[in-house]
Structure 1
Amino acid sequence: MSAWAPGGALVASIDVTAATVQRGDVIQVGGHAARVRDLFQLPQGAKQLVFESGELLTIHARSRLVAVRSRRRR
């Protein structure tokens, strides 16, 4: 699903894994949306996500999450 966000950005819901997650992705965890501020590579393909709130989430290499990612208008 894609939609226009305020400011002219196109946002889309996408599946992300440890290999594809990016800074700025908004992931819903436990009913709360959290924006990824930073990420760290861990052994065996896992990643630790640091959210803007300071909370941490470690995802396995094969974990799949749904994220909202904004794309700049061209």
Structure 2
Amino acid sequence: MRGWAPGPAPASSVEITSATVQRGDVIQIGGHSCRVTDLLQLPGGAKRLCFESGELLTMHSRSRLVAVRTLRGGDAGRAFSPSRHRR
């Protein structure tokens, strides 16, 4: 597996749960950067994450991890804000 290196797209560290994890998130596991390539919904709100390396990680519904998420276009300020409007 090739190591992940940030490109020209802006990136930010975000806390993720099984409900908020996305394809493309990069998670540090054992000192290695692992990019999520696929997600599988499991019973009880858990998700199985598949990484570029082929490794799997099951994320429990109460698990909280920190990931690096790159912006795929658009405004950096709006990309991480909640979906509902703030007043």
CA deviations over 1:8-27 (Å, ceiling 9, x no partner): x1100000000000000000
Secondary structure of 1:44's counterpart equals helix
- Equivalent AA in structure 1 for residue 56 of structure 2: L
TM-score (norm 1): 0.87
Alpha-carbon distance in structure 2 between the residues aligned to 1:27 and 1:18: 13
Identity of paired residues, percent? 65
Alpha-carbon distance in structure 1 between the residues aligned to 2:49 and 2:30: 15
Whether the aligned pair in 2 keeps the contact of 1:10 and 1:73 (CA below 8 Å) is: no
Flag structure 2 segments of 5+ consecutive residues without an equivalent: 1-5, 75-87
CA deviations over 1:38-73 (Å, ceiling 9, x no partner): 010000000000000000000100100000000034
Q: Residue 28 of structure 1 aligns with which residue?
A: 28
The structure with more radius of gyration: 2
Alpha-carbon distance in structure 1 between the residues aligned to 2:73 and 2:51: 25
Whether the aligned pair in 2 keeps the contact of 1:18 and 1:60 (CA below 8 Å) is: yes
Alpha-carbon distance in structure 1 between the residues aligned to 2:57 and 2:49: 5
Whether the aligned pair in 2 keeps the contact of 1:39 and 1:48 (CA below 8 Å) is: yes
Aligned residues: 69
Q: Residue 83 of structure 2 aligns with which residue?
A: none
Q: Does 1:17 align with 2:24?
A: no
- Equivalent AA in structure 1 for residue 58 of structure 2: T
RMSD of Structure 2 on Structure 1 (CA): 1.1
Q: Does 1:6 align with 2:21?
A: no
